[in-house]
């Protein structure tokens, strides 16, 4: 059985978990809690993934896959049911990149404001991160109707999980304010069984 290095806090892992549920593979992959803290090296994990990051998937034949995009592609091919996450449309992969890019803003923002010593935090960086978040949310408000029109794909999955992560870590930013179409679309996303089955929650950080 494939083994997924997993965390209940990682949005990249949640992307993969939603994909596994959508493709009927949730019970075909074993998960193991692996602490891949951005400020602490995990040397054992680095033996299979030199980036020391999750998600990392160990297949039964010894192949190791890493990066949520690659693992979601594997799930799309390995699963026998559910939507085609990668239907071949460039729009789907563009939207996946947007959702992943939003996470690539949120994660260093989290590190900057909650993990770095207060004296070393940069207000300028936080301003940049906040500006990018709002620009992405504004763009999505203008494209929410198109998201609602087309069949569920990796773009929906990536954007939806990214917005869930903002709710989890940056609720005070109130991304829904002034964006009713995006809020409505995301409410429908959150009602999907795959999303309801994979909620975020905290657990303790590893010791350095």
> For 29-88, what is each residue's pLDDT tens digit?
999 998 876 666 677 887 888 888 899 999 999 999 999 999 999 999 999 899 999 999
Task: Give the per-residue pLDDT at 45.
Answer: 83
Query: What digits encode the pLDDT tens for the residues 132-159?
Result: 999 999 999 999 999 999 999 999 999 9
Query: What digits encode the pLDDT tens for the residues 113-127?
Result: 988 888 888 999 999
CA–CA dist 66, 69 (Å, integer): 8
- Average model confidence (pLDDT) for the chain? 93
- Given CA atoms 68, 74, 77, 79 in this order, what sign does their dihedral have? negative
Task: Give the per-residue pLDDT at 191.
Answer: 98
**Residue 99: pLDDT above 70?**
yes
- The boundaries of every CATH 3.40.30.10 domain in the chain are 3-84
- The boundaries of every CATH 1.20.1050.10 domain in the chain are 90-193
Task: Give the per-residue pLDDT at 133.
Answer: 97
Domain 3-84 homologous superfamily, CATH: Glutaredoxin (3.40.30.10)
CA–CA dist 170, 94 (Å, integer): 24
**Residue 173: pLDDT above 70?**
yes
Say if CB 4 and CB 31 are below 8 A apart.
yes
* DSSP H/E element including 31: strand 30-33
Task: Give the per-residue pLDDT at 71.
Answer: 98
pTM: 0.93
* Topology of the domain covering 90-193: Glutathione S-transferase Yfyf (Class Pi); Chain A, domain 2 (1.20.1050)
* DSSP code of residue 173: G
Q: What are phi and psi of 205, to 5 degrees?
A: -70, 150
> What is the distance of C-alpha 85 from the center of its chain?
15
* Alpha carbon distances (Å) from 64 to 21, 22, 26, 70, 185: 20, 22, 18, 11, 35
CA–CA dist 126, 131 (Å, integer): 9
CA–CA dist 34, 192 (Å, integer): 26
Residue 63 DSSP SS3: coil
Task: Give the per-residue pLDDT at 205.
Answer: 64
What's the CA angle centered on 146, arms 98 and 176, to 5 degrees? 65
């Amino acid at each position: 059985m494939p083994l997924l290095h997993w965390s209940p806090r990682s949005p990249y892992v949640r992307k993969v978990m939603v994909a596994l549920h959508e493709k009927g593979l949730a019970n075909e992959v074993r998960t193991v809690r692996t602490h891949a803290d951005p400020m602490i090296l995990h040397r054992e994990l680095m033996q299979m993934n030199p980036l020391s990051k999750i998600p990392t998937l160990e297949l039964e034949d010894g192949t190791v896959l890493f990066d949520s995009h690659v693992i979601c592609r594997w799930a799309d091919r390995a699963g026998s049911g559910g939507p085609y996450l990668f239907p071949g449309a460039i729009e789907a992969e563009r939207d996946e990149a947007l959702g992943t890019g939003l996470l690539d803003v949120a994660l260093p923002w989290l590190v900057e404001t909650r993990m770095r010593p207060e004296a070393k935090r940069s207000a300028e960086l936080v301003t940049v991160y906040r500006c990018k978040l709002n620009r992405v949310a504004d763009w999505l408000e203008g494209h929410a109707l198109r998201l609602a029109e087309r069949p569920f794909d990796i773009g929906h999955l990536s954007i939806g999980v990214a917005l869930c992560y903002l709710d989890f870590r940056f609720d005070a930013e109130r991304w829904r304010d002034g964006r009713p179409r995006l809020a409505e679309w995301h409410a429908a996303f959150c009602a999907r069984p795959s999303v309801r089955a994979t909620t975020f929650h905290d657990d303790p950080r590893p010791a350095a």
